[in-house]
Amino acid sequence: MISKKVLLAVVVSLASFVQAGTVVRDQVEPQQYLTIKADVEKGTISKNIYGHFAEHLGRCIYEGFWVGENSDIPNIRGIRKDVVEALKKIKVPVLRWPGGCFADKYHWMDGIGPRKDRPAGINTFWGGVIEDNSFGTHEFMDLCEMLGADPYIAGNVGSGTVEEMQEWVEYMTADIGAMAQLRKLNGREKPWKVPFFGVGNENWGCGGEMSPEYYADEYRRYQSYVIPFPGNEGMKKVACGPGGEDLHWVEVVMRKAANKMDAITLHRYVFTGSWDARIGKGSATSFTRELWVKLMENTLRIDQNIDNVVEIMDKYDRGKRVELYVDEWGTWWDQEPGSHAGFLYQQNTMRDAVSASIFLNSFNEHCNRVKMANIAQINNVLQAMILTDKEKMIVTPTYHVFELYAAHHNAKLLESELECNPLTGSEKKVQSLTVSVSKDDSGTVNITVGNIDPENSAELVCDITGISPVSVVGKVLAGEQMNSHNTFENPNDVKIEALSNIKLDGRRLTVSLPPHSVSLINVK
């Protein structure tokens, strides 16, 4: 194991020889280095990397968004105002719906027409509760319009028919024909724009337990009828990809169907326990330093996971036309004690926030292939942005990470290099910092940095070439403890604050980053 001291000595002696533009490093006790080439752009970070996911699961849709027009909770056409207002601040670019596992049992026609006539079904995947279909296609599209988000629809392959999928696409996007007529009767004259359509979800699991060969054939058949109508010509057809590291699935689906897809998905959930329910995934709020480190190790594997998937994609898609959508990702903990079984309701601490910063920095770094990512899920489920308790609402530390990272939306990824210490106590010698750097349209360089170390501040020295910086400001999200989180009683325990220990001297920036923190630094 590399000791911190040895690594530091190597870094310092190397650093004194490194010429960074006009900046020459010296030996002034820097602990960790970042070099940024502000004139070397490596790609564009799609804003859709900051996408979200809303499933008919627990209280994500019902209560999280939908309260109905007659609710005492302030709402617009049944959709709660406070949640929409909060989400507008993080600029939700795209929203995936209606699942998840729920997508492959969803029959869209149950969710249109007068609400009183819609059939009640049972949500067999999630909690066995009544699904009264009061939130359907029109309500979802209304929500997207309120948020200013693009809709990403997940179609039903597992238990739906080709005809049903074809008619849904027609209902949403055609201007003529029987389905368009029905939509108009239901109150929507103009077709909607649906830029993304998923052909199934986790079809290796809850979406029909298919083999990759069988799914690839089914994908080819279903997608033939996902026909974009005028105004929706660019609609991306999205094939189901693997859960984590199932590379065989990617290999087969890409080999058999790459030429018929615009994107393939990847799902990646992280925790410290096991998928085995007898063991459990771990508590969201009560954990040791060792479990903190374990989660960070698991999260950091996302880089390799993406690289492995992309390597196979490259084999069958040499022109790199097919995009990768990480359309479910995040932490997955044991449900909060006392919450409804099957609702996947969990709290969200600074550990989740730092994990999110690792994921998002990784997606940024892979922005030439990763064109969309959707954290699971937006309200009240898994690594949520928003938690509600009837009329009460709070935002989580992860919400604040999305707020900070909005600086990267559609910005140019810049070349940067990080030399940092390994995290003490990590058998896998994981890095103690995670960084991503981009330049926005105004020329501002935005640096997002997570301090993965749960106990120690990080003294970061950053040399910038390619621009002549004149000012620097920063914001930080930290909390007192590594498990700090917001509650309905104490909703602002974790919040964004100004980053005070930051200074610019010529092209050199120095900053002290608190333990277990996520920061945004803007250099002009």
Give the residues lining the site for ligand AHR (CB under 6 A): 55, 99-101, 201-202, 328, 376-377, 382
Under 8 Å between Cβ of 254 and 320: no
Pairing of strands 412-419, 458-465: unpaired
Residue of 167, 328, 403, 419 with catalytic role: 328
Question: DSSP string of 467-510?
Answer: S----EEEEEE--SSTT-B--SSSTTSS-EEE--SEEEETTEEE
Question: Which of 212, 332, 218, 336 lies closest to 267, judged by CA?
Answer: 332
Q: Which two tokens stand for residue 413?
A: 């990824």
**Smallest gap from residue 335 Cβ to ligand AHR (A):** 12
d(CA 453, CA 179): 55
d(CA 188, CA 172): 9
Residue of 63, 202, 403, 419 with catalytic role: 202
Which phi and psi angles does 382 have, rounded to 5°? Answer: 50, -135
Q: Which two tokens stand for residue 252?
A: 């087969």
245 is annotated as an active-site residue:
no
CA 403 to centroid of chain Cα atoms: 13
Question: What SS3 class is residue 373?
Answer: strand
**Smallest gap from residue 275 Cβ to ligand AHR (A):** 10
Query: Is 341 exposed, middle or buried, given 0-12, 13-18 or 19+ CB atoms closer than 10 A?
Result: exposed
Nearer to ligand AHR, 277 or 498 (CB): 277
213 is annotated as an active-site residue:
no
> Which residue's beta carbon is nearest to the bound ligand AHR?
100
Nearer to ligand AHR, 33 or 399 (CB): 399
- Catalytic amino acids? 202, 328
